């Protein structure tokens, strides 16, 4: 801004913008090239490991039935808690390494904008914004009712049902 002529000032500003854009472009290209290994790890953890495990664990229980009596709890915790947490941690870490490219665009003035954790549903021709969390809890509970009703009506949690293999349920 201390340049004496307007033309020289604009030339310097254009050159500065070009340097920034070229640097950002190179950083993004480098990041994209380095994504191959993290994507392979995520594929292995999130897709291949669960599929292979579900193939191998039944075979293991057939041959090692006596040693693997309590494998169910380990499978449930491993597949439902530990594995998704590992996949989330690794995916989050990979995405955090992404270089900054541009500022966030403000879309709050758009006529179809829906705030943060809401979903847009058209009711009688009018667009309504509904919070996602209560809606998802209601849908989940509605889907769980038949299973809960079955477990309560058949005495699912009794020791007798589990000792007979629940075939008498």
Q: What is the pLDDT of residues 106-118, one digit of tens each?
A: 788 887 788 888 8
In this predicted structure, which of 5-9, 61-65, 148-152 has the lowest mean pLDDT? 61-65
Contact in structure between 7 and 55 (CB atoms under 8 Å) = no
In this predicted structure, the answer to whether residue 164 has a pLDDT above a threshold of 70 is no
Residue for token pair 């292995």: 44
Residue bearing the bigger pLDDT, 103 or 45: 45
Residue 72 near residue 78, CB atoms below 8 Å = no
Residue 137 pLDDT: 95
Q: Which pLDDT does position 89 carry in this prediction?
A: 93
Name the token pair of 56.
Answer: 């191998």
Residue 131 near residue 118, CB atoms below 8 Å: yes
> Looking at residues 87-98, what average pLDDT do you find?
89
């Amino acid at each position: 801004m201390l340049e004496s002529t307007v033309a020289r000032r604009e030339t310097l500003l254009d050159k500065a913008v070009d340097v920034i854009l070229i640097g950002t472009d190179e950083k993004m290209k480098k990041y994209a090239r380095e994504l191959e290994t993290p994507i392979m790890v995520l594929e292995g953890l999130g897709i291949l490991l669960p599929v292979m495990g579900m193939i191998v664990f039944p075979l293991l229980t057939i041959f090692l039935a006596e040693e693997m009596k309590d494998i169910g709890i380990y499978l449930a915790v491993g597949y439902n808690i530990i594995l998704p947490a590992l996949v989330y941690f690794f995916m989050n870490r990979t995405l955090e390494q992404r270089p900054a490219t541009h500022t966030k665009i403000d879309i709050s003035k758009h006529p179809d904008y829906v705030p943060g954790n809401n979903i847009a549903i058209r009711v009688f021709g009018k667009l309504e914004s509904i919070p996602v969390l209560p809606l998802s809890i209601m849908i989940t509970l509605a889907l769980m009712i038949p299973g809960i009703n079955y477990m309560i009506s058949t005495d699912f949690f009794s020791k007798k049902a589990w000792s007979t293999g629940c075939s008498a349920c």
